[in-house]
Chains A and B, each alone.
Chain A
């Protein structure tokens, strides 16, 4: 067993044991703490153990099929370790915040964690894809069984939507495998073997179309406009740990896939003008259309769900810039958004449990009796609107800067740069809806009948954990950036 296999299988094993009847909370917390230590160790030692060249490390492979060539192959570089770190942090926080919940909450959260870790740490396209699907199944079920509000509709919607998205994705992936494989009849799903072959693939004709299929497939998973309709209802309906795991972690799989598979294997496709323009229009839809939709929300869950769709636009913008600044910014923002949205959904769940409503007009003045909660919510809210000093800003500013790299006064503004200027206005919109919500919920006179108290010291731990991560990465982004950028460079991205 290699280290990464243990990291992937540990939550799966814990899920199994919990399901069979072991004390759920202790098992789950122990497994996720241990996993945090393992991933943290791998993250910290990645560079010193494996040189500074940013290549895949901790590799291990077991052949499953020879023709086509499918292996259970694991490996990690700065990018995957960052995503794994995000996964274990959010998993620990999500599990910790569960109080008085049935066993199935622990089991499903652990299953999702295992699926996400598998997706981020496998270097074989087949397993990478399959692990993501594995993580989706408990997500669907938990929304359908334990969701809030219109849970059936939301569950159907996300199931069908992501199901179709996954199939489109699969078609795109098979396309890549088909065209990049060395010779007909010798298909290989090994990502690392495909990469050197991609450059010589007789591919130019189909690269753009194939990239676009991947963009739509992966994009649907990330709620890229206009394939986002599943996201807001699902997050609003999802039980708290599921919303945290999906919005925080699993959703990032689509972006991870684009960076890991689509961009390095199909660079010519990504650089085709019509693909680029389509992407820019779509991400503008995320930022502006969804920005205004978020502005219209009257409930906290709807607001967080839609804002999470909106903020994906900025990550896509980083990818659209096509340079290292933007890609590093995108990865930084993926991590930061995951942590901040998980924190906000956690607090939102707490409000729903204790107050019974999330409607702005019925809430008010919570800061008076719950100062700690308001402080932490403030950290999450300000992080998500890109306040400097918190992690999201570092990613956003890199993304914005990247689009202006090599700006030529003689040529004027390009479409990419105009998109950025419009996206900058989205930052204003975010601030408007977030501060409105904060004002309504936490400021003003406490509303009658809705009393909110601060969590116990023990329950503050997960909140503190996520808030501290936002602060540390926000003040010293190099802690991630140093590891990420060598790997992105090694991935062969420009």
Chain B
């Protein structure tokens, strides 16, 4: 197949599926899930062919979206290692999640709507991956946001789900404000929005000159784009929507809120790395935001009792890692962690879904326990995912996490001792909270009726878990990573490499031992740190800000508008007019019909005057 028809299919097929299902979901009630899943399988096939396609450095044009004069913003595709690798991850996990959902959403009343939204998501996500210009990326960026909104709010009758959906979209809008501002600056400086052209300009063109003389503007543009990434990849302080997004169905959490959409921020940063890397300030800010997010989220994860919330904070923390790596000058390391993380985190979420399904929608790990015997396949795959996430040697996460630690190590170009320390601490905490989760949920005795009666999930749900177990172990090795077009970072050599390796091993061991010691045979949490359990009270702070800041301000503005604008332009003239003379009263007390008649008469009079004036010599 021609590359353009291949990418066109990947983009337009899920759009068609989404539109057809949304419009006719009454008629398609019993086939929508099959349509959507079929489409996801075809997309995966396309992505596989795509892996072997040739690079298209200048992009493939589907059509000109906006064209005014010399300005164009295309719907066009870029084909390079990065987009091919990412497309593989998105369609692979997308396909597995579709299949898994066949089981998980079997009894849902609105299954057709769910699968329609899933197709819409695939369309949008593929668009981000393939976008060859910033406007197109922004378009799909927001469309991903809206499909996430629909899926988080799938059970919209539940107030928590409805609120979470709104929160996710609005938090992302704040990020998109920055994204658009960044696009505007870059467009203003160069006149185009194509990523390849901007990159060329940065290497030897207008942007290059501007960087040398006015670095602040490049910094500002980079920070704007980064604000967009902060929204999508849930970096502090815009992280608050992601834990709440767990109100959505669990397969959605696996696909969107763990493996793909939240990684889009990192993907975008790597795409525009030439802008971020051009300014030290931008890089530093990004690295610190990433590092803080990683550590803060890991701390919060240690005190959660909802199985999905633990995984959500873990996702935040790992995204923080990736962002930090990009900020520290390691885009490849960031992308590599994105790639391995996608597999094992998706598997962990799907595994948690199987547990929740088996325990009749119980999500509290303290009401689980002893599941390892009842759900052996789920347990073993979950254990593999946990090991990969903790960074147990030879697992996928080990390689990618080590890469990130190596970038942070002071010996590396932009490395920073404090950030390295924070990253190692985060790794320790990761081992701690994941061990805690597994020990509490899968071992010991069942602490609830539902957990007691749990049994293994059906085959359609088990199968994706087993499939994902393989890359969770093997994705870090070259024989798999290279054909999948993953950006494998260069191996770091030198004295630092041994320190990094040592720290990473110690972190895993310390975290693991501490958690097993504390939580073995525990019936309730022996550790109690309200600050972490309450997520540093950031949500409460924002709620207060909205209520006492924004809403009070809106009230104030409304009152002022009524007093001044209305007063000056309506009431004052009215008062003046009525005070001016009683002769106007006849006009004002008349009926509306009379007034409109006068209005018409006014036109005639004015025209008459015009005629009169114009005929004067």
Contact = CB atoms under 8 A, between A and B. Distances in A.
Interface of A: 65, 67-68, 126, 129-130, 133, 136-137, 140-141, 144, 155-157, 159-161, 163, 166-167, 170, 174, 177, 184-187, 225-229, 289-290, 292-293, 295-296, 324-325, 328, 365, 367-368, 371, 375, 382, 387-389, 393-394, 397-398, 400-401, 403-407, 409-410, 417, 420-421, 424-425, 427-428, 431-432, 435-436, 438-439, 442-446, 476-478, 481, 485
A112 to B, nearest CB: 14
Contacts, number: 207
B63 A476 contact: yes
B570 interface: yes
Q: Label chain A's interface by main secondary structure.
A: helix
A365 B158 CA distance: 10
B614 A443 contact: no
A185 B616 contact: yes
Contacts of B602: 163, 167
Contacts of B362: none
A370 B188 CA distance: 45
A445 B159 contact: yes
Given A174-B610, A186-B614, A398-B68, A130 B603 contact: yes
A328 B68 contact: yes
8 contacts: A68-B614, A166-B599, A184-B614, A292-B554, A293-B558, A427-B173, A436-B166, A445-B159
Contacts of B153: 443
A313 B144 CA distance: 27
B596 A157 contact: no
A145 to B, nearest CB: 9
Q: Label chain B's interface by main secondary structure.
A: helix
B187 A401 contact: yes
Contacts of B54: none
B255 interface: no
B579 interface: no
Contact of A407 (B135, B170, B188, B551): B188
Interface of B: 22, 25, 63-69, 71, 73, 113, 135, 138-140, 142-143, 146, 153, 156-157, 159, 162-163, 165-166, 169-170, 173-174, 176-177, 180-181, 183-185, 187-189, 191, 193, 210, 213-214, 217, 550-551, 553-555, 557-558, 561, 565-566, 568-570, 592-593, 595-596, 599-600, 602-603, 606-607, 610-611, 613-617
The 3 closest A-B pairs by CB, nearest first: A407-B188, A404-B188, A443-B162
Given A293-B554, A293-B561, 6 more contacts: A65-B611, A382-B146, A397-B66, A432-B173, A445-B159, A478-B66
A68 B166 CA distance: 59
Given A67-B611, A431-B169, A420 B69 contact: no
A225 B555 CA distance: 18
B610 A68 contact: yes
Contacts of B553: 292
B570 A157 contact: yes
Contacts of A439: 162-163, 165-166
Nearest to B155: A443
Contacts of A407: 184-185, 187-189
A157 B569 CA distance: 11
Nearest to A328: B68
A293 B166 CA distance: 20
Contact of A229 (B63, B138, B193, B565): B565
A375 B153 CA distance: 13
Which residue, of A136, A155, A401, A444, has the highest number of chain B Cβ atoms within 10 A?
A401
A298 B37 CA distance: 42
A296 B556 CA distance: 9
A406 B69 contact: no
A442 B611 CA distance: 58
A432 B170 contact: yes
Given A166-B599, A324-B69, A67 B139 contact: no
A407 to B, nearest CB: 3
